[in-house]
Amino acid sequence: MLTNRYARLVRRASTGELRFHAGLILAETICVSAFIIELGRAVGGNALSWAYVFEWPLLGGYGLFMWRQLVRESRGTTPAPRPLQREASDDALTAYNNYLARVHRDDDSAQR
């Protein structure tokens, strides 16, 4: 059963997706290794390493986010953007836009 699922996943994955997966594995390996190294240095007394202790997990999280976006995009399952909702008419905004249009019109006529 598990082999059939794995075979379907491998057949479905394109070469580009396999590259994304390999890149993710490499990036996460580097981030975890660097985190462990910097944690050891920070505990040992290197104060600057504390910044890297928090930076490497953030970079790893960003790598996961980008991997997810790239795989979704390659499969064509990126969610469509939601249409913008127009807010109800705002009288103050309408009056301000009319004022700007009048100022712009007056400015154009003064320059001619």
Locate tokens 């997990």: which residue? 57
Q: Are 30 and 62 in contact (CB under 8 A)?
A: no
**In a domain? residue 35:** yes
Q: Which two tokens stand for residue 88?
A: 């109800």
**In a domain? residue 85:** no
* 32: containing domain: 1-78
Q: Which two tokens stand for residue 39?
A: 């944690």
Q: What is the mean pLDDT of the chain?
A: 85
**In a domain? residue 110:** no
**In a domain? residue 17:** yes
Instruction: Please report the pLDDT score of residue 74 as a whole number.
Output: 86
pTM metric for this prediction: 0.59
The residue ranking higher by pLDDT, 87 or 25, is 25
**In a domain? residue 55:** yes
Locate tokens 């059939």: which residue? 4
**In a domain? residue 89:** no
Domain count, the chain: 1
**In a domain? residue 8:** yes
